Amino acid sequence: MDYKTIIAILLVFAFVGGVAAEDSIPLLPDEFRGSVTINGNPAPVGTVLTALINEEVRGTVTTTETGIYGGLELDDRRLMVIGYDGEVGATITFTVNGHTATETSTFTPGETQRLDLSVTYTPPSPGGSGGGGGGNAGSFYQEPATPSASFVGEASLSLSSTGSLLSPVTVSSPDKKASLYLPKGTGVHDIDGNLISEISMREATTLPSAPGGFKFEGHSFECGPTGTFFSPAITVSFTVPEDEWEEGKDYSIQCYQAPNGPWVTLTSTVDAATHTVSARVSHFSCFALFTESAAAVTATEAPVSATAKPVPSAEIPASGEPETGGFPWTTLLVGGIVVGVVAGGAYYMKKE
C-alpha cells in the first residue's frame, strides 16, 4: 500500500470522526430575557420559569426582580435553553410556576432573545383565616385549614391614599425567633391592587419535605393574608438561639411556592454576631430556615466527567454566559489531525 492510499484512508477516518464528534456536542444555548406576568400582574421574586423542547426540560431560572427575568448585562441570569443537533427551529414552550405560558419561541442557537412571558389561571381557593384586608387572589401558598396557636404576631398598617406605609412596621413572634420588617413607604396590596390594612404571622403547622441537599433547622412561619405583595421588598428574619447556633453552617432562608411549586432558596444574609439570618421578599409565603447538608456540598464539588454529554434538566444553570467546560476540544483535536494529515500528504507529494 503506497503512502497516497494511506493518506486517503486517514482523511476519511478523520472526516468521519469529526462528524461523529460534532453530533455528540450540544449546540450553543439560546438565551431569553423579558418581563413575566401572572394574571396580568408582575410576577413576584422567586417565580420559577422553565423552558421545554419536545416536553423535555432544557433550562430554568428563578426571578430575582419583580416582573422581570434576565437582562442585557454580562452577569444577568437569563433563561438559557439547551438544544442539540437537528433541533434548530424546534418549538420552545415555557412554564411560569408550573403553569404553561401563552408565548412560545423557536430554538435559535447562539442568540439572546427578548420574550415577555405571561400566564393566566384561577388560583386555588385559600383556606384558613389569614387576617383581614384585601382579597386572597393569586396566593402562592395554601394555608393549612387549621391555624396554629403556637405563636401569632400581627400589626395594623397605617397607609397613605396610594397604599404606602406612613411609618415602618415590625412584626415578631413572642419569642423573637422570627420577624418581618416593612420600611416606611412600602406599598402593600394584593394581586388585584387592593390595599392591605392588616398583616399577621404564625408558626407553620406542617411543612413539605425538605428540599434535596438541605436540612430543616426547626424554624418556620407563614404569613397572612395570603396573596399579599410588597413594593419594594420587605425583610424576613430568623434569630437562632445561642445554644442552637453552629459556626460555619451554611444557613439560608427558603420559601415554599405551593400548591405545586418547589422550595426556592432566597438570597440570605447571615449575621454571625447576632445569630440572625435575613432575606428580602416581595410577597407572603411560608418561610423556613435551612442549612446545606454535607451531601449537597460533596455533590456540588464532585468533578464532572469531561466525556459525559450534558443531560437536559432543571439543574442546567441559566446565566448570561455559556456553561464553562463546554469548549469543543474533540472537534479542535480532529481538525488538527486533518490539517496535519493534509500537510503531510502535500509534503510527500511535493517530494515525489
DSSP 8-state assignment for residue 158: -
Q: Same domain, yes or no, for 267 and 200?
A: yes
SS3 105: strand
Would you say residue 320 lies in a domain?
no
Domain boundary among 100, 120, 140: 120
d(C-alpha 262, C-alpha 47), whole Å: 10
Q: Same domain, yes or no, for 191 and 261?
A: yes
pTM of the entire predicted model: 0.46
What confidence tens digit (pLDDT) does each residue in 202-239 have? 887 777 777 788 899 988 888 888 888 888 889 999 99
d(C-alpha 228, C-alpha 159), whole Å: 15
Q: Same domain, yes or no, for 213 and 172?
A: yes
Please give the residue range of the domain that contains residue 14.
3-24+328-351
What is the rounded average pLDDT of the residues 160-188? 88
d(C-alpha 155, C-alpha 159), whole Å: 12
Q: Same domain, yes or no, for 278 and 259?
A: yes
Q: Same domain, yes or no, for 72 and 86?
A: yes
Residues 243/276, Cβ–Cβ less than 8 Å: no
Domain boundary among 77, 97, 120: 120
Would you say residue 321 lies in a domain?
no
* Residue 62: burial class (beta carbons within 10 Å; 0-12, 13-18, 19+): middle
What confidence tens digit (pLDDT) does each residue in 67-125 have? 999 887 777 789 989 888 888 999 999 988 778 899 999 999 999 999 999 988 765 43
3-state DSSP helix/strand/coil % of the chain, to nearest 5: 15, 35, 50
The owner of cell 406612613 is 166
Q: What percent of the chain has pLDDT over 90?
A: 23
* Residue 36: burial class (beta carbons within 10 Å; 0-12, 13-18, 19+): buried
Give the model's pLDDT for residue 125.
Answer: 39
The sign one gets for the Cα dihedral 325, 328, 332, 337 is positive
In the chain, which ranges are continuous DSSP H helix?
3-23, 294-301, 329-351
- When divided into structural domains, the chain yields a total of 3
Would you say residue 302 lies in a domain?
no
Cβ neighbours for 264, distance < 8 A, ≥ 6 positions apart: 46, 48, 62, 254, 255, 256, 257
Give the model's pLDDT for residue 300.
Answer: 34
Q: Same domain, yes or no, for 85 and 13?
A: no
- Residue whose C-alpha is closest to residue 25's, from 310, 305, 303, 304: 310
d(C-alpha 193, C-alpha 187), whole Å: 10
Domain boundary among 246, 277, 292: 292
Does residue 330 surpass a pLDDT of 50?
Answer: no
d(C-alpha 94, C-alpha 54), whole Å: 12
Does residue 39 surpass a pLDDT of 50?
Answer: yes
Would you say residue 129 lies in a domain?
no
DSSP 8-state assignment for residue 141: S
DSSP assignment string, 59-83: EEEE-SBTTEE--SSTT---EEE--
Would you say residue 201 lies in a domain?
yes
Q: Same domain, yes or no, for 222 and 186?
A: yes
Q: What does residue 300 show for φ and ψ, rounded to 5 degrees? A: -65, -35
Q: Same domain, yes or no, for 156 and 287?
A: yes
More confident residue, 27 or 351: 27
Confidence of residue 340 (pLDDT cuts 50, 70, 90): low
Q: Same domain, yes or no, for 158 and 115?
A: no
Give the model's pLDDT for residue 299.
Answer: 34
Would you say residue 323 lies in a domain?
no
